[in-house]
Structure 1
Amino acid sequence: MELAQHNCLAYPFTSSNTLAHWSLSSPDGDKHTVIFEPKGNAVFNDDASMLQAAMQGVGLIKHLDLWVVKQLREGKLERVLTKWYSPSPGFYLYNPSRENMPRKIRVFMDFLIEKRELLKRHQG
């Protein structure tokens, strides 16, 4: 895979002291998943620092579209491995029932809906 020759920036799982692997969808017809372990000279424990490093050309990152769409649009980042890219359908929040929904869950859902709408406005 082409990634092995690049400096791939990593994100650690603090609970297990391991690096987050990258799951990529193969470009062939069967769309199997390939798991890649990023190898590079930097590990970040926060999104902002990792994104800043990528924009400064330190290395490649794999990140959610909603975090990088603005930088891609402005040309601050460039998508690579486009054949291996498959957009995420988004986040899902499952609640067993709408009846007797705890207030905290309703507030959290409203918060997520509001943030999603703000992202749509900024992306559009």
Structure 2
Amino acid sequence: MRGSEFAELTAFAAVVEHHSFSRAAAHLGVTPSALSQTLRALEGRLGVRLINRTTRSVAPTQAGAKLAERLAPLLSELDASIHDVKSTRNAQSGLLRINLPRLACEYFITPLLGEFARAYPEIVLDIIIDDALTDIVAGRFDAGIRLGERLAQDVVAVKLGGELELMAVATPEYLAEHGIPATPNDLHQHRCINVRMPTSGAIYKWEFQKGRREFEVAVAGPLIVNDSTTAVHAAVDGVGIAYTFDLQVQRFIAAGKLKRVLEAWSPRFPGMYLYYPGRRQPPPTLKAFIDFVRKHVRS
């Protein structure tokens, strides 16, 4: 492959990743007009349109999507190879890109940032908070954090913390006024705070379990949010009943601001895992991060 062809493919991958010519150009350190010219050269050489561009959006065509799917792991592996070579010069320096949901960042990573920066001053952490199920290979991340049941089969995973439990909570004042639900079906008579799923955009159906029986309940109420932290604060303000993981509500329960309901029906989950692609050994910077997190986060 000639150098110009590699530059064209790298430019194309950046546009697909960032969904924007201006953001991709800034990432590559070129002007948007130069980037557009490079993409036109690639499309001309291949004889097919790869990108659909309007005033509002940038998206790959069907042919472009197929090329991007094949190209992403190749570029990721190339980046990793170059990163590994550079790491032999200084095993504790370089850029480390981590993709993780807000819950994991808030409770596992944010409390460690200061100490990690002091321990590894030459490592630059690029943390992307993302509640969607992003493909870390396609997004060219070094690692990610995700719930255990959402992990792919071909990754190496390191457990962070213990199990997580879903908890339905409301203020004592709300429950005094509206009553305490005895079963999940009673939620149909309550004001519930809904959460929109970041990946699908669908409203999350509340999951319950008792013994071997598992089922979902579609609830209704005065508020829909796409962030569980907002749902918890709304519950504290008396909006209604929220349903989220124990990590987010335990301090409010301990302070008497929230009260738990439907405890016998709440399911438990394996918890959060730090993971990375399993086809290669982690570079020294990632290994340093994994070892640091494992040391400081209780299993």
Q: TM-score, normalised to structure 2's length?
A: 0.33
Contact 2:229–2:248 (CA<8 Å) still a contact in 1? no
1:51 aligns with 232
1:38 aligns with 219
AA of the residue aligned to 1:50: A
AA of the residue aligned to 2:196: P
Moved over 6 A (4+): none
Identity of aligned residues (%): 31
2:205 aligns with 21
Secondary structure, in 3 states, of the residue corresponding to 1:63?
strand
The runs of 5 or more residues in structure 2 that have no matched partner are 1-184
> CA distance change for structure 1 residues 13 and 94 in 2, over 3 Å: closer, same or farther?
same
Output the CA distance in 1 between the equivalents of 2:232 and 2:292. 24
Distance apart, 1:72 and its partner CA: 1.2
Contact 1:65–1:87 (CA<8 Å) still a contact in 2? no
The structure 2 residue matched to 1:5, chosen from 189, 197, 202, is 189
Distance apart, 1:47 and its partner CA: 2.7
Output the CA distance in 2 between the equivalents of 1:74 and 1:104. 40
1:60 aligns with 241
Distance apart, 1:96 and its partner CA: 6.7
1:92 aligns with 273
Deviations 1:76-118 (A, max 9, x none): 1111011112343422345575x7124565466457547744x
Secondary structure, in 3 states, of the residue corresponding to 2:219?
coil
Count the aligned residue pairs. 114
Output the CA distance in 2 between the equivalents of 1:39 and 1:111. 43
> CA distance change for structure 1 residues 23 and 103 in 2, over 3 Å: closer, same or farther?
farther
Q: TM-score, normalised to structure 1's length?
A: 0.72
CA RMSD of superposed structures (Å): 2.8
Flag the structure with higher helix content: 2
Indicate the structure (1 or 2) with the bigger Cα radius of gyration: 2
